[in-house]
Amino acid sequence: MAKQKGIILLKGTIGGITFYKTQDGHLAREKGGVDAQRIKNDPAFQRTRENGAEFGRAGQAGKVLRTAFRALALNAADSRMASRLTQRMMQVIKADSVSDRGQRNVLDGETELLSGFEFNIQGKLGNTLYAPFSPSIDRAAGTIGVEFAAFNPLTMLAAPEGTTHFKIVSGGAEVDFEAGTYVIETSATELLPWSAAPTEVISQSNAVTAESTKPLFLVVGVEFYQQVNGGMYPLKNGAYNALAIAQVSGM
């Protein structure tokens, strides 16, 4: 594809060239491609069909996980989070060492590879929250939690300009990728002042099914607010908030 330059930027198709707008700017590409029926039936495209099947499986799994954490991700997700999660799911699927090519799946892969995934690439948790914390997943009890020792917000949070308060949030989810269902619980502190005054110990526990045989996920995040005339407002509608998968327990 090529980038459009100039005063007049086009949209549509002219002479076999399609002009369109994306997040990367105004682009142009030649119209064409292989016939869909040929891809579906021609033996020469067997690898293409296999890759397509696994990519579709990764997209579906990513959607289930995104939906499970939607309540938290609404406040902390960049515009390309969905595509980045699909790419990470592809890594999980490719780690499946027992299924045939084209049949590889998330459950036989390595869901632990999702650990560390950032929902907001512009506000990574590790570059925002420096206070150490202890994640925990107790499969037998069905509890997924996190604990912070008391910390100084002024020195342990890289808060954006205008911050007056913040929240620590977490979520625990049990995800059934085959059925497309999940069990989730989330926790959040009260609004805490962004100051040099140490916080109390923060301990959050989220309940899922005890003795679950499904993959379990813990996400941890921080949300920033500004107090104006007694009201609390999320900074830039959550653009600076951080949320990441802190721990994963596979099958």
Cβ atoms within 10 Å of 9's Cβ, excluding its own: 13
The topology (CATH level 3) of 114-249 is Immunoglobulin-like (2.60.40)
d(CA 105, CA 110) in angstroms, rounded, equals 9
Closest by CA to 138, choosing from 94, 86, 175, 174, is 174
Helix (H) or strand (E) holding 48: helix 46-68
- Going from the C-alpha of 189 to that of each of 36, 112, 124, 160, 202, the distances in angstroms are 52, 27, 20, 19, 8
d(CA 109, CA 177) in angstroms, rounded, equals 12
Is this prediction's pTM over 0.85?
no
170: left (phi over 0), alpha (psi -120 to 50) or beta: beta
| Domain ranges across the chain | 1-32, 114-249
d(CA 132, CA 126) in angstroms, rounded, equals 10
pLDDT grade for 80, boundaries at 50, 70 and 90: very high
- Residues 189-234: tens digit of each pLDDT: 999 999 999 999 999 999 999 999 999 999 999 999 999 998 999 8
